Chains A and B, each alone.
Chain A
Amino acid sequence: MASKLAGSVVITGIAEASSDSQDSLETLVFRGARAALDEAGLDRSDLDGVVLAASDQTDGRAITSMLTSGPAGAYLNDEINVASSPGHALALGFMQILSGTHQRLLVSSWGKSSETVGSVQAAERLSADPFFERDGGLSAAAAAAFQAQQRRLNATDGDLAAARVAARNHGDVDEQAVLASAVVASPLRKLEVPPEIDGTFSILLERAGRDTPAVTLAGVGWCSDSGRIAERDLSALPHLQRAAEDAYQRAGIQSPTDEIGSWHLHDYTPDAEILAYGPLGLCAAAAANDLALSGATAFGGLLPVNPDGGSVRGEAPFGGPMAKVLAAVRQIRGTAANQVSDLDRALAHLTTGFAGQFQTVAIVERQQ
């Protein structure tokens, strides 16, 4: 399909409204949508659709997209909510443009942990299998810890590699500080997991052809692994490999490390980032720990990963991973804080679910 897809879908506006704002959720979503439209030189009436990524229990209300669809621009307009992942919302927006049913649409995701009833982890615990796993207290934090434990047991200096990655993604702490921080869910330390923040993310997708600055959304791939966490090898991510293969094929990428200049990986733990190296093709899976220790993934290295920092600095629950796509777009535009030079393509990686059950890979590139 690469020939049909090539250059067909472009991103003309992005916006991120976050974190310490006292605004309501609907105001945050509105501000994000308005800013993305402004950037693209468009008005709400120019949209023919809105794709939302909404999580009821995270927001603490049923059918939470009812509240946010209007502020995102969906009044008397086409609206759909992809409730499984912000990556999936991007994927559906991509398909809506490719299918010809939509010309121009806004993808919006968010997480407002300050409004979550109880805690995000309490809500996450309710997504475990109700018969076998819920009583065991499985949560997103516990699943992430299981995964990190499994990776570190299989790696020499696995702790150090994780600390190095976390320090790089923080940008302003060193690995000793990471190693000295308190253990929050063994083996994960406080500086290895993202604090919850509030944020909304908006991406304006269009069919290519309008005379306006744009970044091409060249390919999106997504894939799921089992919901039975005990049946998964948490240190292998075959579904991420499938998602990446689909995204690369759609973007016409033959050699990922030669063609992708900036990697924006979902570091919900440093271990999750390191485990993604192999399936994404940065290196052989067995060499991932060494790659993390080598420094090649630092800003200025051969394979820059999260050059502008990672989720570990703070991530909005559920919708937050969309920040990876925005970071990748900024790199292609040349507006990133830590700008990678000579860049034509960037990769964004988003995960959702326990230990990354749902994986999405998106490729953005300079418009041809």
Chain B
Amino acid sequence: MNWKVILILLLICSGLGIYLFKIDWGREPAKKTEERDHLLNCALDQIASARITLFDTTYSIRRKSYEWEFVSPYAGELADSIAVNHLLSSLIKIFALSKLPADSLDMAMVHLKNPVMEIEVQTVAGDSTSLRFGALNPTTDNIYVHRDAEKAVMLISKEIGPMLGLNSFMLRGKGLTVIQPLDIAEIRYAGRDIKEFQAARSPGDGVWWMTGGKEKIRADKRKIIRILRDLYENQVRSFESAGVEESSRTGLDNPQRRLLVKAQNGDSVFIALGNTVDQAAYLRWSYSSLYPNDLVLTDSRLLNHLDTNFELDWMVDLRMADFDETRINRIEL
């Protein structure tokens, strides 16, 4: 090839390079992804109440500090805060992948006329958002969601799918008491073949005292709070409708153990532990006045756990000191 041709080709190539570089230099940076439209546009702690409709049942819950309580049904019961918070925080995170005009869809066909789940959320500021969850689009693997009366229907990731299978057990709290452990002021634990355990918290200094014979013995507050927290947290394995089982079979007509906890404000919860379940000895028939219409199944080991803890010798406060060290200004040794 002639050297002149090579030179011309080189010039053309470098000219093209400079041209392309200049074009790219002058171009504005690509726009970032469009702003995401989340199902709920608020923070979790701004949500004051929610109504969750699953099939034909509507559960109404409201915030109680860091927990959730039922308004209806199960008024007065705590909701399972882990389940509720997980559901709501998922709704805050999930965003629309695409949108379709609502009038272009057969709403009955995509289950938005009779939604699988409907959630209405109200914030502390009074704003409310309603979400209706429809069917799974088999082609795109996305779920149809209709928010409020918007003209567009959202398609979201199927991540929310497993939550559409929520049921009342998942939503209900699983504690045997509803009284915060630190609010409890009196405990009475009794049963067959065991010595009754009684302890009360003195209102002034918060010291727990046990009654052992004639004398009062100081109880280890940390141990008491730990066992009360166990009762407050996940203990219920299942809810069974009361009246289905014969009381003689459940043993709740003459329970093996009875526990009464009283709050400082006078509220109280009564718990009874009955027999273990036939064919499932790891479960025990139980009752808590918190669930007056239900029998509950608890772990059968709960009885031993309570026996071991509500025992005078174990509960004795063996800590020698209980003082505020910042107040010490004299030491005599």
Q: Are both chains from one complex?
A: no
